[in-house]
Every structure is written in C-alpha cells, then in structure tokens.
Amino acid sequence: MAYTQNTPEEIREMLERIGADSIDELFAPIPKSVRFRGDLNLERALSEPEILRKMGEAAKLNSIPGEMPSFLGAGAYRHHIPSLVDNLAGRSEFATSYTPYQPEASQGNLQATYEYQTMICEITGMDVSNASHYDGATSAAEAALMALGSTGRNRVLIPGTLHPDTRAVLHTYLVNRDAEPVDIPLKDGRTDLDALRERATPEVAAIILQTPNFLGLIEEAAEVSQIAHSAGALMIAAVDPISLGLLAPPGDYDADIAVGEGQPLGNPVSFGGPWFGFLAARQKYVRRMPGRIVGETLDADGRRAYVLTLQAREQHIRRARATSNICTNQGLCALRGAIYLTTIGKEGFRHVAELCLQKAHYAADAIQAKTPFRPRFEGPFFREFSIHGPVSAKECNQRLFDKGIIGGFDLGRVFPQEESSLLLSFTEMNTREEIDFLVWGLSEIS
C-alpha cells in the first residue's frame, strides 16, 4: 500500500507536541525570501515492491562488463576476484569496524593491516608501507608532500603520461601548499627525458613517474630515477600493482617512494569506487609517511602483539608537526587487497600478470593484421595500448557498442589532438573469443 500525506489532524497533533501554534510559526526562523512557495511537483509515493521494481528497471540501463565484452581500462581494471575475498572481507568483524581509537584492543584488524603492509612492501621492493589511502591519486599527492618536506624544496615534476586524475589531484594539493607543479611533455607516448633533464633543477623536490604510463607504455624508470637523484630530488614511482608480477618493482630501480591504485587487487570496478591507494617508501622516510603504520611486537607476557607504531597525522600529534591530515585509510578495501594477494599467492600473482601481457599482445597483433586500425605509439606495453583509425574514438566506441562490445577509453577526452585514438585494456577476464569479437568489430569500421 502506498504511503499518503499527513492528514490535517496529524499535522495539528505534531504542532501541539513541539509547542508551535502553526506551520508558519514552525518555519519562522527561515527568511521569507528563501522559502519555497507553491506546490511540489512530486509523483505519488511508492510502496516498497514498486520502488524495487523501479530501481531494477533503472539498473538494467547500465552496460556491465561481464554481461558484455569490455576493453575499457584507463586505471580501472576488471580482474577475477576469488570468492574467498568476499567471504572473509564480509565478516562482521571487518565489515562493521571503523577506525580503532583504542587500537590494541583490535588485534585482528591490526594483524590484517600488518599483513597488508608486508605484502605491499614485498611487491614494491620498499622497506615500509602505511595502512593505505583513499585512492591512488591521493597516495601520489601525499608522496609529493613527503618529498617537499624531506628536501625543503618547492617544485615537483609531473609528466603528462601520468593518469589525468592523479595529475589533477597533484595540482590541487601543490598549489595550495605554495609549491610549484611543473608539467613535463610527452614524446611518442612516453615522458620526454630531454625535457625532464632540463627541468631537473636544484629546486625540484621530486619527479613522479607512472610506469606503465597512462597510455600503457613502459617507461625508462631506471633512467628517470638517475635523473632525479642526480638533481638531489626524490623518485616517486606510480605503478600498476598487477604489473609487478612481471616488471621490476620500484625498489629495483632505486625509487624512494612507490604509490598506486590498489583496485586491481581484489576490488571490483564498481562504477568507480570505493578503492584504496597504497604508499610504500624507504625506511629513512618513515617519519614523513602519512596515515598509520602497524608494527609487530611482544606483549608483557612475551606473546606476539600488534600496535599502531607510528601516526604522523594531525589527529594524534600537534597540528604544526603533522605530516598529513589524512584520517581514513579505506581499510576494508585494503583488506580485500591483502586477502586477494594471499589467496592467489606468488605464482598466481605472476600468472595473472602473464595473462594480461599475453592477451594484450595477441590483441595488438590481430588488430594490426586484420583491421584498418594501427598502433598509435610504438614501444613495450603491459596490458594496455592505444590505436587510431579511420573514425573518431567516440564514433568507434558507439559502433562497437551497437555490436555488443564495450570499447576502450577515448583519449580525446584527455588529449584533444588524439580524438581518433582509443586506449584498449586487457586482463585475464578477456577470453580469446571476446578478443576475436573485438577484432571483427574493428574490422567492420572504415
């Protein structure tokens, strides 16, 4: 039965209970100039079954990867999530808990965070990890603040190959800290190393490099690290965690800080979140790290115990000495990442990365051989590559969608000169039949 409006009798009773003589008296504190006058044009109230039916019909309008072959990535990737991740992360001990303000009473949560930190350090090759961040873009921005504080300098070099959302967050953070973000141009789809060397002056606190970069290409990370350190700056590596199953971790090319988006680790795409950002660094920067760090110790009886070792944030120490005002760490999403890594193990982690690489290269070869589309940039890539062809990316995506395929990311949205370029992404979830279907769809476009 649908709900109805209150009757005049019910309204009079309400006014009597709150001590008001009329509706006008009830709203007297609101200035007349801003009060709404007239009737609200609202549909009739719906019953619960009617609401569920209406919401279900609206949900059917979404095009969901899995129901359709999807090759859309650009920072959000659909991977297989073992059922164990949902089952364990959904336990009430984890799903309903919040920030542990008496943390040592929450030994299970602290241990889970400690294991998460350990695994992030293992895959990045870093010494210490915090308990995660809001997202990958926030992690990059917080890493930049670490570099500013550590070096006493005020300039950060930001290549145009960095994810556009991360670049936007970095600019927002830095300009409000009286720091100078310096954009570095692209050259053939990768960071222009000559421009980077030219701008690596004594004022530079850090160089941030994403590899594989936003266009999918693998950067010369070791060379960029050398450029940064020669200038006395820090090297911040922004990485796709799945790529670390095959590619050298940031620790191998002497990065000072490693950051990234943790969504590929056990978290669904979910229309864009919630996800979590990871941040790991060399030991010497531990006191500059934002957020929480959980450590392992022994209690008074000699038993293993977990504690919040370091909290360099303004909720816990004097504001003037805080390194960050980050307060929430997306702990449940990070927990999913830890369960995912534990479940697939080292061999599984490498196997997922191999499948991404193999499927992407199979697709690239087939597209070049059988369609009018060609690679937009040359160079080694991991799971993504860009193509350009006879029509705009917008039209290409529409024609693919009409055939039942979710296409790639329209690069014209970020780089106006690339309106005919499409960024395609591949994971272990894309079958060979789906890839062949994509190739057929592209071959029909001229």
On average, the pLDDT of the chain sits at: 92
Residues of the chain above pLDDT 70, percent:
94
C-alpha span between 162 and 159 (Å, rounded)? 6
**CB-based contact 158:342 (threshold 8 Å):** no
- Please check the confidence at residue 190 and state whether its pLDDT lies above 70: yes
Average pLDDT of the segment spanning 245-260: 98
- Please check the confidence at residue 169 and state whether its pLDDT lies above 50: yes
**CB-based contact 200:227 (threshold 8 Å):** yes
Predicted local distance difference test score (pLDDT) of residue 444 = 95
Q: What is the β-pairing status of strands 234-238 and 257-261? A: parallel
Query: What three-state secondary structure class fits 212?
Result: coil
Tell me where in the chain the CATH 3.90.1150.10 domain(s) lie.
Answer: 346-443
- Please give the C-alpha separations between residue 160 and each of 58, 142, 385, in angstroms, as whole numbers: 38, 19, 16
Residues of the chain above pLDDT 90, percent:
74
Beta-sheet strand order (sheet of 374-375): 374-375, 384-388, 421-425, 409-410
Confidence band for 2, pLDDT divided at 50, 70 and 90: very low
Q: Does residue 134 or residue 439 have the better pLDDT?
A: 439
- Please check the confidence at residue 4 and state whether its pLDDT lies above 70: no
Predicted local distance difference test score (pLDDT) of residue 101 = 66
Q: Which is nearest to 221 in space by CA: 202, 194, 193?
A: 193
Classify domain 346-443 by CATH architecture: Alpha-Beta Complex (3.90)
Average pLDDT of the segment spanning 266-295: 93
C-alpha span between 371 and 296 (Å, rounded)? 56
pTM: 0.88
Tell me where in the chain the CATH 3.40.640.10 domain(s) lie.
Answer: 83-341
Segment among 182-191, 253-262, 314-323 with least mean pLDDT: 314-323
Residues 6+ apart with CB under 8 A from 58: none
Query: What three-state secondary structure class fits 146?
Result: helix
Predicted local distance difference test score (pLDDT) of residue 3 = 43
Average pLDDT of the segment spanning 394-409: 97
Q: What is the β-pairing status of strands 234-238 and 384-388? A: unpaired
Query: Which helix (DSSP H) or strand (DSSP E) does residue 271 occupy?
Result: none
DSSP character at residue 280: E
Predicted local distance difference test score (pLDDT) of residue 259 = 98
CATH topology of domain 83-341: Aspartate Aminotransferase; domain 2 (3.40.640)
Distance from first CA to last CA of the chain, Å, rounded?
55
Secondary structure (DSSP) of 251-301: GGGT-SEEEEE-TTTT---TTT----EEEEE-GGGGGG--SEEEEEEE-TT
pLDDT digits (tens, 9 = 90+) for 60-87: 998 888 889 999 999 999 999 999 999 9
Segment among 100-104, 316-320, 329-333, 396-400 with least mean pLDDT: 316-320
Query: Which helix (DSSP H) or strand (DSSP E) does residue 24 occupy?
Result: helix 23-26
Beta bridge partners of 257: 236, 281
Confidence band for 312, pLDDT divided at 50, 70 and 90: low
- b or e along 189-199 (b: 16 or more beta carbons within 10 Å of the residue's beta carbon)? bbbbbebbeeb
Q: Which is nearest to 85 in space by CA: 242, 267, 241?
A: 267
Q: Which is nearest to 233 in space by CA: 255, 214, 262, 258?
A: 255
Q: Which is nearest to 237 in space by CA: 282, 183, 186, 288?
A: 282
- Please check the confidence at residue 119 and state whether its pLDDT lies above 80: yes
Residues 6+ apart with CB under 8 A from 133: 139, 142, 276, 277, 278, 279, 290, 291, 326, 329, 330
Q: Which is nearest to 360 in space by CA: 380, 388, 341, 340?
A: 380
Token look-up 């070099």 returns 157
Residues 6+ apart with CB under 8 A from 198: none
Q: Does residue 222 or residue 5 have the better pLDDT?
A: 222
Positive or negative: CA dihedral 260, 262, 268, 271:
negative
C-alpha span between 441 and 439 (Å, rounded)? 5
Secondary structure (DSSP) of 150-206: HH---EEEEETTS-HHHHHHHHHHHHTTT-EEEEE-EETTEE-HHHHHHH--TTEEE
Predicted local distance difference test score (pLDDT) of residue 394 = 97
Average pLDDT of the segment spanning 319-341: 81
Confidence band for 315, pLDDT divided at 50, 70 and 90: low
